[in-house]
């Protein structure tokens, strides 16, 4: 799994590439925690290039989401598709995560 | 407004050694050491025998990987000398697996069912504030890498049943796949 950060205004977009599985999901969690330490407040996690997620990956997203919510900062997860979407649906967390269909939509929501 | 679909059928993990899902007749068999690093590799060795007609093979692989991970990590506590035994059979309409470890069994099964029932009630009430406490099943043995959500999805995915034996160290499961309707011409 590869993680890339890009900036759009005050938003930090994290592009996740690869599989979010039991061997590497902690990397995303660690990256977000480091960014929080550096006072980043607006996160967009882009899962466009993620075709596989397991319970560890979902667990990492839950941890990130609850940490950011507790700090009253902003998070949007975007471009969820295929089996990743199915796993989140099976876990019934589509309503729990803040989700948009595209990065553009995420950026617009951040402005609200 | 409450969404009652979550409560329409509260699924539970059941214990029933006499379930037909434990009938191993005609099933393939593989056994693996409890090597955490190789869980996805072991899973692929099993999934490769699934027919190409099965759609969403990624999802099938993921669901099987979770059950093997539970056996390796929570059942056998990653003791490499302890085996995970897997019986499996696939066709275009079904996936049937039995996964057995050498551990003490899923002793918290009833607690898990209670937790899941509360989770579904909270989902039904769409109380996303309280849901935060019910998105992840944690025990004193959980570590930071445990998502604590695999069994929620397993109960939904394995629509033909997800049943433990009496010792609770083996679980049998069945998934049905939708079949294409052929036009009669």
**Between chains, do B6 and A92 touch, taking CB under 8 Å as contact?**
yes
Among the partner residues B58, B123, B146, nearest to A83 by beta-carbon distance: B58
Residue B153 has its nearest CB partner, among A51, A56, A91, at: A91
Predicted TM-score of the model (pTM)? 0.93
CB contact under 8 A, B147 and A93: no
State whether residue A85 sits within 8 Å of chain B by CB: no
Distance CA B21, CA B159 (A): 12
Backbone φ and ψ for A83, nearest 5 degrees, come out as -70, -25
Task: Domain of residue B167: give its range.
Answer: 5-11+25-176
Sheet holding A99-100, edge to edge: A2-8, A11-20, A42-53, A74-78, A99-100
Q: Would you state the pLDDT for residue B11?
A: 87
- Averaged pLDDT in 10-residue chunks for chain A of 112 residues: 96 98 96 98 98 96 95 97 96 95 97 84
Chain B: give the shortest CA distance to residue A12, in Å. Answer: 24
Question: Partners of A19 in the beta sheet?
Answer: A52
B13, pLDDT greater than 50: yes
CA A77-A78-A83 angle, to 5 degrees, is 100
Separation between Cα atoms, residue B124 and residue B5, nearest integer Å: 7
Chain segment A59-83, per-residue pLDDT in tens: 999 999 999 999 999 999 999 999 9
| In-domain check, residue B182 | no
Q: Which pLDDT does position B102 carry in this prediction?
A: 98
Question: Do the domain assignments include residue B160?
Answer: yes
pLDDT of residue B6: 61
Q: Does B150 touch chain A (CB under 8 A)?
A: yes
Instruction: Determine the pLDDT at residue B3.
Output: 66
pLDDT at B182: 65
Q: Is residue B17 in a domain?
A: no
- Distance, CA of A36 to CA of A34 (rounded, Å): 5
Q: B136 in a domain, yes or no?
A: yes
Contact B172, B161 (CB under 8 A): yes
A93 touches chain B (CB under 8 A): yes
Residue B185: what pLDDT? 46
Question: Pick from A58, A82, A92: which is nearest to B147 by CB?
Answer: A58
Query: Average pLDDT for residues B162-168, to the nearest whole number?
Result: 97
Q: Does A18 lie at the interface with B, CB-CB under 8 angstroms?
A: no
Q: Does a structural domain hold residue B20?
A: no
Does some domain include residue B133?
yes
Query: A-B interface: how many C-beta pairs under 8 angstroms?
Result: 84
Give dist(CA B66, CA B74) in Å, integer.
Answer: 11
For chain A, what are the domain ranges? 2-111
Query: Structurally, how many domains does chain B consist of?
Result: 1
**CA–CA dist B104, B82 (Å, integer):** 12
Closest Cβ–Cβ partner in A55, A69, A82 for B150: A55
The region of weakest confidence among A20-29, A97-106, B122-131, B156-165 is: B122-131
Cβ contact A62–B144 (<8 Å): no
Confirm whether B130 is domain-assigned: yes
- Would you tell me which CATH number, out of the four given (1.10.340.30, 3.30.479.30, 3.20.20.70, 3.30.750.24), belongs to the domain A2-111? 3.30.750.24
Whether the complex's predicted ipTM is more than 0.95 is answered with no
Q: Indicate whether B34 pLDDT > 60.
A: yes
| Section B32-46 average pLDDT | 97
Say which residue the tokens 């959500």 belong to.
Answer: B149
Question: Would you call B39 helix, strand, or coil by DSSP?
Answer: helix
B18 in a structural domain: no
B47-72: average pLDDT: 95
pLDDT at B8 > cutoff 70 = no
For residue B31, what pLDDT band results from cuts at 50, 70 and 90?
Answer: very high
Cα gap A103→B141, rounded to integer Å: 38
Bridge partners for A11 per DSSP:
A8
Give yes or no for residue B180 having a pLDDT over 90.
Answer: no
Q: Sort out which chain B residues have CB atoms less than 8 A from A50's CB and list them.
A: none
Residues 6+ apart with CB under 8 A from B15: B109, B163, B164, B165, B166, B168
| HSE-CB of B122 using CA atoms within 13 angstroms | 19
Tell me the CATH number at B118: 3.30.565.10
To 5 degrees, how large is the angle CA A104–CA A105–CA A111? 95
Lowest-confidence segment of A99-108, B2-11, B41-50, B134-143 by average pLDDT: B2-11
Q: What phi and psi values does residue B177 have, to the nearest 5 degrees? A: -105, 140
């Amino acid at each position: 799994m590869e993680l890339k950060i890009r900036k759009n205004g005050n938003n930090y977009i994290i592009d996740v590439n690869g599989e979010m599985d039991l061997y590497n999901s902690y990397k995303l969690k660690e990256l977000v925690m480091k960014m929080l330490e550096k006072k980043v407040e607006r996160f967009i996690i882009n899962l466009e290039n993620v075709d596989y997620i397991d319970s560890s990956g979902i667990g990492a997203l839950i941890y990130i989401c609850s940490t950011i919510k507790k700090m009253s900062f902003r998070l949007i997860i975007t471009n969820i598709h295929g089996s990743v979407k199915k796993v989140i649906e099976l876990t019934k967390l589509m309503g729990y995560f803040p989700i948009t269909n595209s990065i553009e939509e995420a950026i617009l929501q951040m402005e609200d | 407004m409450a969404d009652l679909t979550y409560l329409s059928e509260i699924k539970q993990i059941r214990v029933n050694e006499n379930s037909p899902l434990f009938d191993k007749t005609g099933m393939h068999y593989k056994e693996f050491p409890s090597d955490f690093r190789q869980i996805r590799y072991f899973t692929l060795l099993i999934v490769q025998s699934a027919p190409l007609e099965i759609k969403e093979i990624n999802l099938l692989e993921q669901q099987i990987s979770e059950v093997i991970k539970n056996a390796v990590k929570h059942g056998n506590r990653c003791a490499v000398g302890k085996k995970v035994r897997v019986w499996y059979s696939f066709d275009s309409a079904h996936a049937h697996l039995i996964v057995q470890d050498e551990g003490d069994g899923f002793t918290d099964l009833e607690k898990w069912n209670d937790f899941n029932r509360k989770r579904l009630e909270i989902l039904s009430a769409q109380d996303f504030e309280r849901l935060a406490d019910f998105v992840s099943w944690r025990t004193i043995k959980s570590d930071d890498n445990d998502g604590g959500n695999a069994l929620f999805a397993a109960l939904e995915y394995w629509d033909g049943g997800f049943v433990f034996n009496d010792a609770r160290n083996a679980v049998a499961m069945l998934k049905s796949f939708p079949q294409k309707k052929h036009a009669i011409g």
